[in-house]
Amino acid sequence: MNADVALAEARLKEAEQLRENMFIRAPFDGTVISKDAEVGESILPGGMGEASGRGSAVTIADLENLEVDCDVKEDYINRVQSDQQAEVAVDAVPGKRYRGLVRKVIPMGDRARATIKVKVKIIDVDPKLFPDMSCTVYFLPESKESDLADDASRTFCPSDAIASTDPTLIVADEPTGDLDAKSGSEILELMRRLNEEFEKTIIMVTHDPNAAARAKRIVYLEKGVLVSEVRSQNFSKGVSA
């Protein structure tokens, strides 16, 4: 009699476990980003699945906690340390730098590529970011705590775009294209000063009517053909758009 009871309890536990295996529970809160199995396929819990099955039903990601896996050359790894401030430029979100923090420097090098893997946590995640996006990480030097708290936007440009000479003619191609309104106004004000105070001739190509309105001469082109031209009365040496 006791043996029959034990057998029945064992079969009950087996049935409960089989029923439990039919439920899918995520190990953390996240968003489903891919469906890995179709209706009718077999799923092996905790494994890679059988020959005709899958190891998972869906793939989820925690979009509130994103980080970047980047490779740093061995020559520069001594400049990177844990909890260091960084900025992340995402190719799909031009004109914006996300705040980052070095979470971990992996203590293992890649001999073939001469790099060290570094994980950078993105602090100000927004809905524009998704997994597997291409981006560039800029590691910032140590700063004072008050400097780190300053979240004011800044304008960046490639170092090879800075002229070391004193040109008389400046050509600007969409100078306000990827900038916010405040930064765009600052660039236009700088161009005005270069023209009026330093007598620089500026040729600006733009689709921004506000930027064009500051020019002393406006030339309208359509498919490479001159269609109209407007000059101000006080035009001499100035900005052309």
Helix (H) or strand (E) holding 123: none
* In the chain, domain spans: 81-149, 159-240
pLDDT mean by block of 10 residues, the chain; 241 residues: 87 90 82 84 62 71 90 89 92 89 92 92 91 90 56 62 77 85 87 88 88 87 84 53 60
- How far is Cα 6 from Cα 13, in angstroms, rounded to an integer? 11
The pLDDT value given to residue 235: 43
Q: Which three-class secondary structure state does DSSP give residue 147?
A: helix
Q: Which CATH superfamily is domain 159-240 in?
A: P-loop containing nucleotide triphosphate hydrolases (3.40.50.300)
Residue 74's SS3 state is: helix
Distance CA 56, CA 24 (A): 10
pLDDT at 13: 92
How much is the pLDDT for 234? Answer: 45
How far CA 75 is from CA of 79, 113, 127, 153, 175, in Å, comes to: 9, 12, 35, 30, 35
Query: Does 2.40.30.170 match the CATH number of domain 81-149?
Result: yes
Predicted TM-score of the model (pTM):
0.48
- The confidence score (pLDDT) of residue 49 equals 45
